[in-house]
Amino acid sequence: MIPRPTFSRRSVLLGGLATVAAACGGGNGDSATPAVQTDDGTVFLQPGFADGLRSRPFLVAGRELVAPIFLAGGTGRPLQVDEIPASIDLEIRQGDQVVSTQTLPVRGDGILTPHYSPVFDVDVAGDFDAVSIIGGNAVGFSFRVGEAGETGHVQLGDTLRPVDTPTFAEPAGVDPVCTQLPDPCPFHEMTLTDAIGSGRPIVYLVATPAFCQTAICGPVVGMLTDRLAGRDDVAVVHAEVYRSVDVALTPDGVTESVTVYDLDYEPMQLCADAGGVVRSRLDFAWDTTELDRALAAIGIS
C-alpha cells in the first residue's frame, strides 16, 4: 500500500494554481527508470480538473468519469514527457479506505503537456485523496465528489441537447466563429441541432483554441481536424466558448454552446451515436490515443 501523505492547505492551493498553468498554457520514457528531474527536486501531483474545493466539482457520485492529473515542479511548471515516469500507480482514498488502485500510463501523444488519466467511479459524494509515489516520495491532492444533481453536465447515456451553434453561414453574433489559427477549422458548416438530426454519429467539441494554441485547446481541435476533416460518415461540430474575442485575445460573454451544457471549463468533447445518445466523453485534456478510443465508441476509426 502507498504510504499516506499529509496534505496541507498550502500544498492543495499550490497544486490548484499549477493545474491552471498546465491546463491552458511525444513519446514515453523507460518505465523501468521512472526518475523525476525538476528544477528544485520538488514534485506536485495535481488535478487537471475542477476539484470541488476551489470550484464546483466535476466529479459526481454514481458516474464513471475520466479526468486528467499532472505532475509539476515546485515552481508550478508542468513537467514534460521526458521528465516524468512512463506510468504511475495511483490510489484513490476516502479517509483510510482505498477506493481504487490504478496503474496509469502517461498520455502525451499530440499534445505539449503530458498527463495521466485515472478513472473516478465512486458511489457516494464526499472528500477524497489521490495518492502516488513519485521519486520515492508520497505526493497527492485532495478533491471532492459532488452529488449526482450538483452539475448540469451531460453524462454518458444522456442525450445531446440541441443548440443552434454558430456556423460560417449563420454566425449568430459570434465573432470569430472559430479562433483556430492560422485558419479556422472545418467544423462550422452545420449547427449541433442539425447534427443531431442528421442520422449520423456526432462529435461535439467546445474549445477556444486561440487561448492555448500549443497546450491543450488548440491541439485537440487540430487532432480532430486531422482525424475527421472531410468525412461524411460523422457529423462534427466545434463551438467556441466566447461570443467574441478581439485581437488582444480579450473575451466577451459566453455562447449558448456553453450555457446549455452548463460548462464551467474547457475543452470538452462529447461523442454520440446516430440517435444522439452520448457514448464517450473527453474533458480538460486528452491525447490522440484517448481521442481514437472515444471515436471508436461511436464506430468511427
C-alpha cell at 260: 446549455
**Predicted pLDDT at 15:** 35
| β-pairing verdict for 69-73 and 97-105 | unpaired
Structural domains of the chain sorted by starting position, each given as residue range(s) with its CATH number in brackets: 9-145 (2.60.40.1930), 192-296 (3.40.30.10)
E strands within the chain? Answer: 43-47, 65-66, 69-73, 87-94, 97-105, 119-120, 126-134, 137-145, 202-206, 235-239, 242-245, 251-254, 268-272, 278-283
Q: Which cell goes with 85? A: 515516469
Q: Decide: 299 and 292 in contact? Cβ < 8 Å.
A: no
DSSP 8-state class, residue 147: P
**CA separation (Å) from 199 to 168, 193, 273?**
22, 12, 9
Q: How far apart are the first and last CA of the chain?
A: 39
Q: In what order do the strands lie in the sheet with 278-283?
A: 235-239, 202-206, 268-272, 278-283
Q: Specify whether the CB–CB gap between 56 and 152 falls below 8 A.
A: no
Alpha-carbon span 229 to 222, nearest angstrom: 10
Report d(CA 257, CA 294) in Å as an integer.
Answer: 21
Give the model's pLDDT for residue 77. Answer: 85
Q: What is the mean pLDDT of each run of 10 residues along the chain (301 residues)?
A: 39 33 35 41 90 94 96 88 94 96 96 94 96 92 94 96 98 93 95 98 94 64 96 97 71 88 95 98 96 98 94
Cβ(197)–Cβ(232) below 8 Å: no
